[in-house]
Amino acid sequence: MTEVQFKGHVSHEEFRKLELSLKKYGIEIIDDPKSVIVQKIKEIIKEIVYLEEKPDNSKISAYIAERMNLSYGHLSKIFSEVTYTSVENFYVLQRVERVKQLITEEKLTCTEVAWKMSYSSVAHLSSQFKKTTGLTPRAFQSIIERRNSSGSSSSQLQSK
Amino acid sequence: MKFLKPRLPGFVLASALVISIFTLLFAAGISYKQLQMASESEKMVVNSYRISVALQQLDLDTRNAETNQRGYLLTNDSSFLQSYFEAIQKVNQSTSQLDSLMSDNYQQSRLLDTLTSSVAKRINYLNEVLRLNNYKVTSTDTIKSLILKGRELMNISQTYIYDIKNDELKLLKRSEMLHENDIKLPPFLILFIVLFSLFVFIISFYKINSDLKDLAITNNQLLINNELFEHSEQIADISHWYLNIKENELTYSNNLYRLLGCKAGEFEPTFLNFLEFVHPDDRALVVEGNRKILDESLEAQMYYRIIRKDGVERHFRSMGKVISDTFGNKFSIGINADITEQHSKDKLIEEKIADLERSNKQLKTFNHIASHDLQEPVRKVQTFISRISDKELEVIPENVRDYITGIGKAAGRMQKFIEDMLLYSKTSMSDKVYETADLNEILENSKRDLSQLIEEKNVIFNTTSLPTVNAIPFQIQQLFNNLISNAIKYSRQDIVPIITIDSKLALGKDIPNTRDNTEKIYYEISFSDNGIGFEQRYAEKIFDLFFRLHTNSEYSGTGIGLSICKVIVENHRGYIKAESLSKYGSTFSIYLPA
Amino acid sequence: MKVDSLFILLADDDEDDCIFFRDALQEIRAKTDLTIVNDGSQLMQYLDNADNRVPDLVFLDLNMPVLNGINCLVEIRKKSRLKELAIAIYSTSSSDENVEEAFINGANIYIQKPNDFSVLKVILEHVITLNLQYNTSGLKKENFLLNINNIKSDEVSKT
């Protein structure tokens, strides 16, 4: 995310024009301060998830609060307001997404993923995965494989 | 019966014969030679004796001559003179006899010559004396000196005779020795020949006899086998044929004719004649099959139809191949079997299976549609009820509230019922795809699926390591889920529910009340709980469909869960047993083939 | 980030279910616009019309007359225009085969129609929120797979 500050006043139409033209390049404009905060939190969480080491859950909230220079309670409230979900949920969601990525792109086994993502056991990984997606990691893997082998009519472009 | 390999004149036998012949010839040759030598030496002995005799005779005759001469000199009797001339003749005879006898011995011949000459001299003197005597002129002294000279010659002759005799004696002794030796061997050889021949004869006799006996036994067995064959063929509706490929001779078993509806030997066994009976549409197949056997020496199997003599169509199965016999001749042999009964049975089975599959499919579809179409209204009822908010509920009268609650509950039961029925039919009709399933994983999945319930009731699990089995994974999962959720459902209110899951091995014959009396190995997995238990006399009935031990007000339930468990276990060719000591809990044991 | 209302399209032939759906949507936090069609061909007609706004989320019943859910799914996934479209199968069935078939043919979400209204609300909220995350947080739509099956009123998922 890049922050841009307009030097002067920008009219509503101009702003819309800018928005539309940027959209062509897949760039979105966020101009609401709360949304900005939420976006930043999301990015921090993404960073944490992609780290090799999984930090303690307790440390995450502290870490975010420190990075954002705001209290965690406050951050958490804003996050829920805007996204209708909690920071913790978002964190879990991101981890599960990473698991999905590791399974589909890097073709790791569940054991390998559990180890890489610092899950306490494969069972724990399966459990969280199933809770979040309603599918077991193996079922997920099988579905993705069969989707890809039966033709790419069901493929989707990567979202922004 | 052991298969006796026919003993052909092998190499061993031929060489044994040759050796025997040579041995005999050799022995005979030696005997012959020895006998020849013996007769030779015998001849020599005889010769020697004859010479001795002749010598004696010569001596005798000369003395005889002398005696007669003296007699005549003394008496002047002419009979003496006669005898004297007879004696002289005899001497000559003896001499010539000796000559011929000793002709082959040079040394002896020389001696003989000297002897002969001295004898001749002697005779001359004798004759001289006689002549002189006749003249009466001669002085007595001349006669005396002649007689004295005669006597000297006599002595010389004697010496000669003596020498010859000695020599002959020596010769005789030697000849006799040789002869003795020569005579020693032949008897032994002849004995040997006789014994050896006897030996060979006896052995040959024994062997021939034994072979003949074996042959007789084999032949007898063959006879029996043939009978068995014919009998078996008749009973089993099979027949055989064999073809001597080189001679192109085809032989049919009697039953082959019968299977074709003919009498044994009714027609000449040829392939073409057989083909006449084959259904026209199948003839090409049979020809091709036959060709494969003969030309390519492949083992061929054919299925085709024949039309019997009485016009009835029958189904045949034939197999043929090429073999070599002990003499290296190639035969093609084959079997024709009438499989009409089996064929129609098979067809019947196929039809029945098709019917079953069709009806199964129909049932499945019916089931599927029924359950979905049944579920939808039930769901609606529940949803509508769920829409009545708490606020709205507060406003309506209590009894109406109760009715609504009742409706909801009833709908809930109906839904559970439909779900369980769906599950039951799905379990019964599933395609059985087995995979290796780690039961520990299955258990973990169950715990996770029932995690909320487990947490609520604080259930404690006591589990040991479970084996990995070959099973239909989702069914085994269902089984575990059912058994564990039952254990939790029927737990006692006042104590912490403890579920113990254990595994061990069991033998088929040890499982109570089953038809398995074998040593087949099963995994015995037991689920024990400390719940409310049940009366042991219902241990079999609880697996019946819809059977319930409690009312809905006591415990909710459809009575389908354990039936599903039983179906699952039976799908795996296993067993499920229940045991309970009433209030002390229950144990459900499942047996899965290892 | 847009806090505009989410455009949701429901294809279901059952009137009652449509009413439930509409009512549930109205009672959740997220702002939504709902359009309902009653069979598959109507759905495809709507989507094929380039003048129509592409929905953010489509809920598709499996057992519709004319063109059933799976057929629609396959058709939709063929159109590049609708690549971003998140599709949720909304069905009475809960069989594993149907679930797998739906996902393999391109569905993102599979929802078994609940029998409790409040559960429906929770589900819808969860789905919408998740969809939002996928749209805004750089998550791969291809991996957006959510199976909501066999939810009972007493097992409301805590999200």
Report the range out of B24-28, B101-105, B382-386 with the highest average pLDDT: B382-386
Partner A, chain C 19-78, Cβ-Cβ below 8 Å: 29-30, 74, 77-78
Task: Inspect the interface and report whether the beta carbons of B444 and A123 lie closer than 8 Å.
Answer: yes
Q: How far is CA B484 from CA B167, B535, B562, in A?
A: 136, 19, 11
Tell me which chains share at least 3 CB pairs under 8 Å with chain A: B, C
| Chain C residues inside the 8 Å CB shell of A104 | 142-143
Among B379, B397, B429, the domain-final residue is B429
Note whether residue B197 is domain-resident: no
Q: Which long-range contacts (CB under 8 A, 24 or more apart) does B464-467 make?
A: B464/B501, B464/B502, B464/B503, B465/B440, B465/B503, B466/B438, B466/B439, B466/B440, B466/B442, B466/B501, B466/B503, B466/B525, B467/B439, B467/B503, B467/B523, B467/B594
Residues B486 and B538 in one domain: yes
Residue type, B172: L
B218 lies in a domain? no
User: Measured between alpha carbons, how far is A16 from A22 in angstroms, rounded to an integer?
Assistant: 10
Instruction: Indicate whether this model's pTM tops 0.95.
Output: no
CA distance B421 to B370: 11
My answer on whether B181 and B244 are in the same domain is: no
Structural domain count, chain B: 4
How far is it, in rounded angstroms, from Cα B584 to Cα B580?
Answer: 7
pLDDT digits (tens, 9 = 90+) for B528-580: 999 999 999 999 999 998 888 888 778 888 889 999 999 999 999 999 999 99
Query: Between chains, do A143 and C104 touch, taking CB under 8 Å as contact?
Result: yes
DSSP H or E stretch at residue A51: none
Closest CA to B277 of B241, B247, B232, B244: B241
What value does the mean pLDDT take over residues B478-500? 93
Crossing angle for the helix pair A33-50 and A72-83, nearest 10 degrees?
110
| B470 and B490 fall within a common domain | yes
Three-state secondary structure call for residue B547: coil
Q: Could C139 and A160 be called an inter-chain contact, meaning their C-beta atoms sit closer than 8 Å?
A: no
Q: Please name the residues between 443 and 462 in chain B that touch chain C, using a CB distance below 8 Å.
A: 452
Tens digit of pLDDT for each residue in C31-54? 899 999 998 888 989 988 888 888
DSSP string, B312-364: -EEEEEEEEEEEE-TTS-EEEEEEEEE-HHHHHHHHHHHHHHHHHHHHHHHHH
The answer to whether residues B492 and B452 touch, using CB atoms and an 8 Å cutoff, is no
Which CATH number do you get for residue B453?
Answer: 3.30.565.10
Structure tokens at B66: 């002398």
Q: Is residue B559, in this structure, part of any structural domain at all?
A: yes
- Give domain status of residue B297, yes or no: yes
Going by C-alpha positions, the residue among B128, B119, B125 that lies closest to residue B155 is: B119
The residue whose two tokens read 């999984």 is A54
On whether both B498 and B575 belong to a single domain, the answer is yes
The span from the first CA to the last CA of chain C, in angstroms, equals 22
In this prediction, residue C152 carries a pLDDT of: 53
DSSP B382-421: HHHHHHS-HHHHHHS-HHHHHHHHHHHHHHHHHHHHHHHH
If asked whether residues B350 and B390 sit together in one domain, one would say yes
Q: Does residue B124 lie in a domain region?
A: yes
Q: Does residue B212 belong to any structural domain of this protein?
A: no
Whether B408 and B447 map to the same domain: the answer is: no
pLDDT reading at A157 higher than 60: no
Final residue before a domain boundary, out of B429, B459, B491: B429
Domain around B501: 431-593
Cβ of residue A123 closer than 8 Å to a chain B Cβ:
yes
* Whole-angstrom distance, CA of residue C87 vs CA of residue C103: 10
Any B CB within 8 A of A111 CB: no
Same domain as B91, residue B34: yes
Domains of chain C and any CATH numbers: 6-158 (3.40.50.2300)
B224 within domain boundaries: no
Which of B313, B338, B363 represents a domain boundary (last residue)? B338
Q: What is the pLDDT of residue B578?
A: 94
Residue keyed to tokens 């030696």: B30
* Structure tokens belonging to residue B506: 């069991």
Whether B154 and B17 share a structural domain: yes
Return the CATH number at B272.
Answer: 3.30.450.20
pLDDT above 70 covers a percentage of chain A that reads: 87
CATH of the domain at B110: 1.20.1440.210
B306/B365 same-domain check? no
The pLDDT of residue C34 is 93
Q: Classify residue B98 as left (phi > 0), alpha (psi -120 to 50) or beta.
A: alpha
Q: What is the pLDDT of residue B147?
A: 75
Question: Could you count the other beta carbons within 10 Å of the beta carbon of residue B264?
Answer: 12
Beta strands at C86-91 and C109-112: parallel, antiparallel or unpaired: parallel
End-to-end, the C-alpha distance of chain B in Å comes to 42
Question: Which pair of structure tokens corresponds to residue B361?
Answer: 């499919």
Q: Which residues contact B511 (CB under 8 A, 6 or more apart)?
A: B522, B575, B577, B591
Please name the helix (run of DSSP H) or strand (run of DSSP E) that holds residue B181, with its range, or none. Answer: helix B140-236
* Partner-chain contact B386 C63, CB within 8 Å: no
Within a domain: B298? yes
B483 and B372 within one domain: no
Whether B403 and B481 share a structural domain: no
Same domain? B60 vs B87: yes
Both tokens of B11, joined, read: 């190499």
List, for residues B399-439, the tens digit of each pLDDT value.
999 999 999 889 988 888 888 888 888 887 777 788 888 99
Please check whether residue A152 touches C, CB under 8 A: no
How far is the C-alpha of B8 from the C-alpha of B18, rounded, in Å? 17
What are the start-end ranges of the H helices in C28-151?
A: 40-48, 69-78, 96-104, 117-136
pLDDT of residue A155: 45
- Any chains having at least 3 CB pairs less than 8 A from chain C are A, B
Q: Do the Cβ atoms of C56 and C30 come closer than 8 Å?
A: no
pLDDT in tens, B236-284: 999 999 888 888 889 998 899 999 988 888 888 888 889 999 999 999 9
Question: Tell me: the pLDDT tens digits for B81-133?
Answer: 788 888 888 888 888 888 887 777 777 777 778 878 877 887 787 787 777 77
Sole residue written with tokens 């009998």: B231
pLDDT of A159: 39
